Amino acid sequence: MQSGEAESGRGVIQVSSLPEMLVRHAQRRAEHPAVVLASDAQERAPELSFEALYRESAALAAQLAERAPPGERALLLFPTGLEFVVSYFACLMAGLVAVPLMPPRRTARADASAAIIADCSPRLVLTPGGEWGGLQPAFLTHLAGLGIEHVSVVLGGAAPSMPPQRRLGSDTLAFLQYTSGSTRVPHGVMVTHGNLLANLSMMQQRLNADAGFRHVSWVPLYHDMGLIMNLLLPLFCGGTSVLMSPSGFMHRPLGWLRSIARFEAQAATAPNFAYDLCVDRFRADQMEGVDLGAWRMAINGAEPLRAATLQRFAACFQPYGFRAGSLHPSYGLAEATLMVSSAAPCEGAVLRGASIESLRAREIAPPRSEDDTAQMVSCGPALDGIEIAIVDPETRQRLPQAKAGEIWLRGASIAQGYWGRAAESDQVFRAAIAGEATAPGWLRTGDLGDLDAEGRLFVVGRLKDVLIIRGVNHYPQDLEATAAAAHPALRRDHGAVFAVPDGTGGERIVLVQEVERTQRHALDRAAVEAAIRAAIVENHEVAMSRIALIRPGTLPKTTSGKVQRFRARQLWLDDALELLDMSLAVS
């Protein structure tokens, strides 16, 4: 299936935009459930058929076209729900540039949304009906002061209407996907209809998805994984997207697995931490009668993959029909629209042991001993239509196998650049490999990785997060994982390691680490700190200068669960962390 093609259930159809895709499915699969809004309860879930989704979207698009010309930006401020889906397609039909945004949790000026709004200068803001969807008055006042017009979206029985007749080509901007901000201030990635259709087609091929494709997701729709993989891919194929509440998952993670079984979903996608959380919160009584046998793709992406996570998840849920071969590691980023590489269905997770010592020198070599072993997880080969190069980030020369370097990409799904940042877009999206005659056009991901002899990608860290300690490269996620495993009072995947100036021209290495909620009042701080220091020295030969134990839930993270080390570092420098205890400096 080529870029721009979608599966209707009766054969392949050719489309040039997502609205055209929706029209075709509404004609050929009118009553098929396109989107289902599910909860952990067994009552009938609200849903929209393809015909109803088209009807509601077309009616709203006609309203939007009267309020803003094509090319203007429209904020989408919604919790997970059917209103978001309708609003997204309505913006595309009206030729507006959709900007999915997490509803702010505080005031506008204290939230990352303020920077995004200032960056994209939206004309409209769409919210659910009724009290502006519960948004805080201070934020609403802020939007009104900026001259942003509000559109309240209420669904139900929209009369048939013709959407605006907009020319939507492959180069038409579809939406801005603001980066998660794990290493910097969020940037608006410009994704066109052509980028979207190309990546959707690539994913459809790799995952072997057809019109019977059902996917269950709790990932927020303002996140690229939630929007593109978990919502748009099932719709592209003519299948069904089952949406759940993110907060519901965080409180009851096993409800996600129950819904996967209930809807007999073939696929479900989540970041690595979600699989750990399911094991951590496992209760046999909550899994009674659950059969995960239909789940053939447990897609894991959006943050560093851990072999231990995959192994413990497979072992925990094997009695409920889950097969280890269904584990499906992948790699992607917003700048490439979404997915870049992925294992084939039922291939399972491919692991490779590598020397920790060699990885510090950006080399891939067999481990010298058990203590020198790091288990690397393959993210599979590149999707058809994407080319991966491993490049020395300083010399910009292509590296041979067994040398870890920056991951560079090119292909039809690579986005157009960052909104309003021409110079940075040229640096990031139009790089050239030294000594090669091809025109510039490579995307620099900022991630470090290696391709093995079979073309499988192994991601080993972030270029900007690498710490150089006594001339040796150390990856923060490795130190964080060692620290969290050093004592049962510490939360896995809730630590941040970074460097700060020491006042003499050098640097100090700081660990900020959350504790478990059940441990925070009776914590033996000295014992916890001693365990962390001993583990890091033993495994990495690194002495931590500072260790800060913080309250649970206060480590800055992105919506997909990535640790925001740069924000944690800034909070440290501003003395703004919610500390339980801070150790003295190491002499």
Q: Is the pLDDT of residue 58 over 70?
A: yes
Query: Average pLDDT for residues 527-556, to the nearest whole number?
Result: 90
Query: For a pLDDT cut of 90, what percent of the chain falls above it?
Result: 62
- Indicate the pLDDT class of residue 585, thresholds 50, 70 and 90: very low
**pLDDT for position 105:** 60
Q: Is the pLDDT of residue 223 over 70?
A: yes
Q: For the chain, which residues make up each domain, given as ranges?
A: 5-249, 350-462, 467-582
- Indicate the pLDDT class of residue 109, thresholds 50, 70 and 90: very low
**pLDDT for position 42:** 62
Classify domain 467-582 by CATH architecture.
2-Layer Sandwich (3.30)
Q: By three-state DSSP, how is residue 274 classified?
A: helix
Tell me how far apart the alpha carbons of residues 263 and 210 are, in angstroms, rounded to a whole number: 16
- Indicate the pLDDT class of residue 584, thresholds 50, 70 and 90: very low
**pLDDT for position 134:** 55
**pLDDT for position 135:** 64
Right CATH for 5-249 from 3.40.1190.20, 3.30.1490.20, 3.40.50.12780, 2.40.50.360: 3.40.50.12780
- Helix (H) or strand (E) holding 328, with range, is strand 327-332
Give 1-26 as a DSSP string. --TTEEE-SSSEEE-SSHHHHHHHHH
Query: Average pLDDT for residues 493-516, to the nearest whole number?
Result: 86
Do the domains at 350-462 and 467-582 have one common CATH topology? no
**pLDDT for position 13:** 58
448, 443, 506, 502: which is closest to 476 by C-alpha? 448
Query: Average pLDDT for residues 59-71, to the nearest whole number?
Result: 95
C-beta atoms surrounding 455 within 10 Å: 11
C-beta atoms surrounding 493 within 10 Å: 23
Of the chain, the end-to-end C-alpha distance in Å amounts to: 62
- Beta strands in 412-527, from DSSP E residues, in sequence order: 443-451, 456-462, 467-469, 472-474, 490-501, 507-515
**Cα separation values, 571 from 52, 444, 577, 578, Å:** 47, 28, 6, 9
Q: Is the pLDDT of residue 16 over 70?
A: yes
> In this predicted model, what pLDDT tens digit does every residue of 158-196 receive, in sequence order?
777 777 888 888 999 999 999 865 556 779 999 999 999
Query: Average pLDDT for residues 382-404, to the nearest whole number?
Result: 95
Contact 37, 82 (CB under 8 A): yes
Give 188-250 as a DSSP string. EEEEEHHHHHHHHHHHHHHHT--TT-EEEE-S-TTSHIIIIIIIIHHHHHT-EEEE--HHHHH
Tell me how far apart the alpha carbons of residues 90 and 60 are, in angstroms, rounded to a whole number: 6
**pLDDT for position 7:** 56
> In this predicted model, what pLDDT tens digit does every residue of 357-383 receive, in sequence order?
888 888 899 999 988 888 899 999 999
Tell me how far apart the alpha carbons of residues 60 and 155 are, in angstroms, rounded to a whole number: 9
Q: State residue 49 phi and psi, 5-degree precision.
A: -75, 170
Contact 546, 587 (CB under 8 A): no
- pTM recorded for the entire structure: 0.84
Which of 38-52, 126-140, 261-275, 480-494 has the least mean pLDDT?
126-140
Could you say which DSSP state residue 370 is in? G
């109803």: which residue's tokens?
Answer: 52
> In this predicted model, what pLDDT tens digit does every residue of 428-443 receive, in sequence order?
999 999 999 877 799 9
Query: Average pLDDT for residues 556-569, to the nearest whole number?
Result: 83
Right CATH for 350-462 from 3.40.50.10580, 3.30.230.10, 2.30.38.10, 2.60.40.1120: 2.30.38.10
**pLDDT for position 110:** 45
Contact 267, 297 (CB under 8 A): yes
